[in-house]
A and B are shown apart, each in its own frame.
Chain A
Amino acid sequence: MLRLKSVHTYYGKIHALKGVSLHVNRGEIVTLIGANGAGKTTLLRTVSGLTPAARGNVDYNGQNITRMQAEEIVRCGISHVPEGRKLFATLSVRDNLEMGAFVRRDRGEVRGDLREFRRKFPILSERWHQMAGTLSGGEQQIVAITRALMARPELLILDEPSMGLSPVLVKEIFKIIRRLREEGTTILLIEQNARAALHAADRGYVLETGRIILQGTSQMLLEHNEVKRAYLGKGYREVWEE
C-alpha cells in the first residue's frame, strides 16, 4: 500500500532522513522505533507531504506521491494526526471534527460519520460545544484522531498519540488504535513508548540517525537484545510513566 524507497529529507538544514526504505501493507499496524532526533517525525511528515522528500520515492497504492501537496495526499487517503494534537483550540469540538472532513463533498455522509463517532466515543458528545483547548489531554487526543478519521483515510499516521497522557488513557488510546485496525484502517505509528507501540503493531522498523538499521515483526523486535537495551529499557518506561 505505502512504499518508501531511499527517501532523503532535510529538516531545515539537517539531513534528517538518509535513504529510508519501508513499506506498510493494507490492514497492518507498522511502527517506527528510534531515539529522539532519529528522524521518526520527519519520516511521517514526508509521507503526508508536510516536509517533502528531497530525493527518493514515496508510492501510495502504486501512485507516486513524493512531490504531492499535503492536501492532495489527504485526498489520496492518508490522514496525519500530528504530535501534540494541534487542534484549533478556540474552536468547538464539533467545528474541529468538521474541519477534518474538508476534503469531502458528501455533506450528508459527513453528518452520518459525526453521529457514528459520537456514538463510538461518547466523550465527544459530552464536550460537543466546548472549545477544544479546554479539554484534557486524553480528550484532545480522541478529538485529534477522530478529526483525522473524518477524512475517511485508508492510512492513518499517528505521531506520539500517547504523549502527555496518563497510563490509563494511554491504554485507552491503544485500544482505539487496535479497534481502528479491526475496522480496516491501516496505521503507521510512532511512539515514545516503544514497548507499547510494538505490542500494538505487527511490524516495526528501527531508525538510527536517519537510517533504518533493523526491521522485523514486533515479536522479533521485542525480543531483540539491541532493541531491548536501546529502546525498551527500564529507564525509558519510567520517564513515560511519571
Chain B
Amino acid sequence: MRIWEPEYECMSRDELAQVQFERLQSTLNRVYRNVAFYRKQFNAINFEPGDMNDLSELEALPFTQSQDISDAYPYDLFAVPLREVVRVHSSSGATAKPIVVGYTRQDLRSWSQLVARVLTAGGVTADDVIQVTLNYGLLTGGLGIHYGAERIGASVLPTSVGRTDRQVKIMQDYRTTALVATPSYALVIADRMEKMGINPRTLSLKFALLAGEPWTEAMRKDMEERLYVKATDNYGLSEIMGPGVSGECLCQAGMHLNEDHFIAEVVDPATGERLEPGKVGELIITTITKEAFPLVRYRTGDRCSLDYSPCACGRTLARMGRVLGRTDEVLIIKGVNIVPSRVGDILEEVQGKRPAYQLLVEREKNLDKLTVLVEVSEDLFFDKMREQRALVDTLRKEVADGIGITPRMLLVEPGTIRREEETTPGVLDRRRFASQPYPDGGSCALGDPSYPASGLEGPQRKR
C-alpha cells in the first residue's frame, strides 16, 4: 500500500506531539495577533500561547462554534489580509449567514497535499482515472478533491454533480478507475447502471472514495458488491478545510486523521469534557497549519470516536471512526448541512410570523428528499387557490436560497402538525441510516407518522 507522505503519516507519536505543539503554538500566536475574536477570547482567560507546556493545555481554551463563524460573516475570522487570500469557499444552510472560508496560496498547497494523502490511502495513484462527482463551486468538495488528484498525477474527470446517465456513460467510455461521490450518489449510480443494463463488471472501476454524509457498513457492502470496488470512507468539512481532513486506507478500519495539520479531540457534547480515546462524543478540531482561516477548538457537531492504536498500513496517525451522526439537530441532506430551525427562520421572514412546520426527510432510490410541511390558515384552502400556488412557489424558492437545496413544499391545515414542544422544530427523518437525532423520541413534534411518503406538491386537504 502506498503512502503519500510517509515522513509525516508514519512519524512516531512522540515526534508528532512535538510537531503538533510547535505548530499549535505558532497558530495561536498568529490568531492572537491577527484575529480580534481570538485576541478577546485569550485575553478574557489571560491565556498566553508561550506559556503552554503541553498539548493537553489546549483544553483550557474555549470552543469556537459555527455561530461564531456565522457572526464573523464574511471575513472577520480571517487571519491574513484579503490580498493574501487566493480562494474563498462558502457553505450555507446551517447558520443564518453563510460560512465563508479563505485559503492562502500555502493553504491550497497543504490542502492538495492532504487530499493527495487520503486519495493515496484509498488506492488512487498516478495511473488512475478519477471521476469527481462532488459539487464544483462554492462548496469545498469538488475543487478540494480535484487539486489533490492532480497533485498525485491521476487523470481527473471533473464531472461534478448530477446527470447520472452522462456520469455512467463517462465512467464506461473514459474507463474511470476511481469514483469520488457521496455514498448515496454512488448507490444512485449503481441503480442507474442496472436500469441501463450495464454490467459493472465490464467497467474499469476499482475504487470508490466516499464522503459528505453518514453511511453504514451495510451500504459499503452493498456498494462493493454492486460496483465491484473497494469503498473507503472520507471526512472533511469546509470550516476546517474541506476534504482531506481524514480518510480511510485500504484496511477499511477508520479514517486516518491528518494530525500534523489538525489536532482532534472528542468531548462530551453536553459538558465539553474531553473523553478518553475510543469513546464516542463530539469531534473538536484545531487547525495548526492553516493561515487564512485558522480555527481553535472548533465544534464540528459530528459524533465519532478516535482510535490511537497502530494501523496495519503503517500509518501512525489516529483513526476516526465513522461519523455516527450529529450532536445538534443538523440534518445532512444530499451532503448539505441543514439546521431545521433555519427553515423556520426563512418561513418567518416570508410570512411575517413563524408558522408551524415540519421537515420530512426520506430516501427514495438512494436519493435524499426533503419535504417541508407548513401549516397555513384554513381559509387559504377554500378560497385562494392562486395564492396557495404563489405561496408554495415563493416559500420553495426562499427556502432553497437559504439552505442550499430545493425542498418539496406541502401546505397543510392548522393542527395537522402535532406540536409537543413549541421551541423545537419537528423533524421526521425516515432514512434508513439515520441516527436518532432525538433519542428520547418525545422531545420534538414528530407529527403524524402517516404522512404520505410521496404526495402532491401544494396544499393538501385534511381528511
On whether the beta carbons of B30 and A213 are closer than 8 Å, the reply is yes
How far apart sit A212 and B50, CA to CA, in the bound complex (Å)? 9
A216 proximity list for chain B (CB < 8 A): 106
Chain B contacts for A223, CB-based, 8 A? 105-106
Contact yes or no, A23 B18, CB < 8 A: yes
Residues of A within 8 A of B30 (CB): 213-214
The smallest C-beta distance from A174 to any residue of chain B, in angstroms, reads 25
Chain B neighbourhood of A224, CB < 8 A: 106
Task: Pick the contact of A5: B23, B49, B53, B105 (CB < 8 A).
Answer: B53
Query: Chain A 192-217, CB within 8 Å of chain B: the 1/0 string?
Result: 00000000000000001011111110
Residues of B99-119 contacting chain A, CB below 8 A: 104-106, 109
Q: Which residues of B contact A3 (CB under 8 A)?
A: 18
Give B32's nearest chain A residue, CB to CB: A211
Contacting pair B22 A213 (CB below 8 A)? no
In the complex, whether A8 has a CB less than 8 A from a CB of chain B is yes
Q: Is the CB of B26 within 8 A of A220?
A: no
With the chains together, A212 CA to B49 CA distance in Å? 10
Instruction: Report the separation of the CA atoms of residues A225 and B49 in the bound assembly, to the nearest whole angstrom.
Output: 24
| Given the contacts A6-B25, A8-B50, A213-B30, A225 and B18 also touching, CB distance less than 8 Å | no
Residues of B within 8 A of A208 (CB): 29
Contacts of B18 in A (CB 8 A): 3, 5, 21, 23
Say whether A19 contacts B52, CB under 8 Å.
Answer: yes
B interface residues, tally (CB under 8 Å): 23
B219 to chain A, nearest CB (A): 39
Instruction: Say whether A21 contacts B109, CB under 8 Å.
Output: no
Q: Are A21 and B84 in contact (CB under 8 A)?
A: no
Q: How far is the CA of A35 from the CA of B53 in the complex (A)?
A: 26
A21, B21: Cβ atoms under 8 Å? yes
CB distance from B107 to the nearest CB of A (A): 11
| Contact indicator A220/B106 (Cβ below 8 Å) | yes
Partner of A212, one of B25, B33, B104: B25
- Proximity string of chain B (277-314) to chain A, C-beta cutoff 8 Å, 1 when within and 0 when not: 00000000000000000000000000000000000000
Among A8, A56, A210, A214, the residue within 8 A (CB) of B26 is A214
Residues on the A chain within 8 Å of B29, using CB: 208, 211-213
How far apart are B112's CB and chain A's nearest CB, in angstroms?
13
Q: Mark B11-31, 1 if CB is under 8 A from A, else 0.
A: 000010011011101100110
CB atoms of B21 and A5 under 8 A apart: yes
Are B26 and A215 in contact, with the CB atoms below 8 A? yes
Residues of chain A lying within 8 A (CB to CB) of residue B105: 223, 225
Asked whether A212 lies within 8 Å of B26 as measured between CB atoms, the reply is yes
Known: A23-B18, A220-B109, A226-B84. A215 touches B23 (CB 8 A): yes
Shortest distance from the beta carbon of B218 to any chain A beta carbon, whole Å: 43
Q: Provide the bound-state CA to CA distance between A200 and B8, in Å.
A: 22
- Knowing A213-B26, A224-B106, say if A19 contacts B19 (CB, 8 Å): no
Using A211-B29, A213-B33, A220-B109 as known contacts, say yes or no to A19 and B51 having CB atoms under 8 A apart: yes
Whether a CB of chain B sits under 8 angstroms from the CB of A22 is: yes
Interface string of B30-50 (1 = CB under 8 A from A): 100100000000000000111
When each residue 11-42 of chain A gets 1 if its CB lies under 8 Å from chain B and 0 otherwise, what string results? 00000001111110000000000000000000
CB of A19 within 8 A of CB of B22, answer no
Residues of chain A within 8 A (CB-CB) of B25 are 6, 19, 21, 212
Residue in chain B with minimal CB distance to A211 = B29
The answer to whether A23 touches B33, judged by C-beta atoms less than 8 angstroms apart, is no
Tell me if B51 and A212 are in contact (CB < 8 A). no
| Shortest distance between the CB of A24 and any CB in chain B (Å) | 11
B106, A215: Cβ atoms under 8 Å? no
A21 and B19 CA atoms in complex are apart in Å by 9
B residues less than 8 Å from A225 (CB atoms) = 84, 104-105
Residue of B nearest to A227 (CB): B106
Least CB distance from B441 to A in Å reads 49
CB-CB under 8 A from B104, the residues of chain A are 225
Q: Shortest Cβ distance from A215 into chain B, in angstroms?
A: 6
Q: Contacts A212-B22, A212-B25: A18 and B50 contacting too (C-beta < 8 A)?
A: yes
Contact between chains at B48 and A21 (CB < 8 Å): no
A225 to B23, CA, bound (A): 19
Query: Residues of B contacting A5 with CB < 8 Å?
Result: 18, 21, 53
Which A residues touch B49, using CB under 8 A? 19, 211
Nearest-neighbour CB distance to chain A for B10, whole angstroms, equals 14
Q: How far is the CB of A34 from chain B (nearest CB, A)?
A: 13
Is B23's CB under 8 angstroms from A19's CB? Answer: no
Partner of B50, one of A23, A211, A215, A226: A211
Given contacts A213-B29, A214-B26, A215-B26, contact A19 B106 (CB under 8 A): no
5 more contacts with CB within 8 A, not counting A19-B48, A215-B23, are: A5-B53, A23-B15, A214-B26, A215-B26, A225-B84
Sample (21) of A-B pairs whose CB atoms are under 8 Å apart: A5-B21, A6-B51, A18-B50, A19-B49, A19-B50, A19-B52, A20-B50, A21-B18, A21-B21, A21-B22, A23-B15, A23-B19, A23-B22, A56-B53, A211-B26, A211-B29, A211-B50, A212-B22, A212-B25, A214-B30, A223-B106
- Sorted nearest first, the 9 A-B pairs with minimum C-beta distance are A19-B50, A18-B50, A21-B22, A212-B26, A211-B29, A213-B29, A23-B18, A21-B25, A213-B26
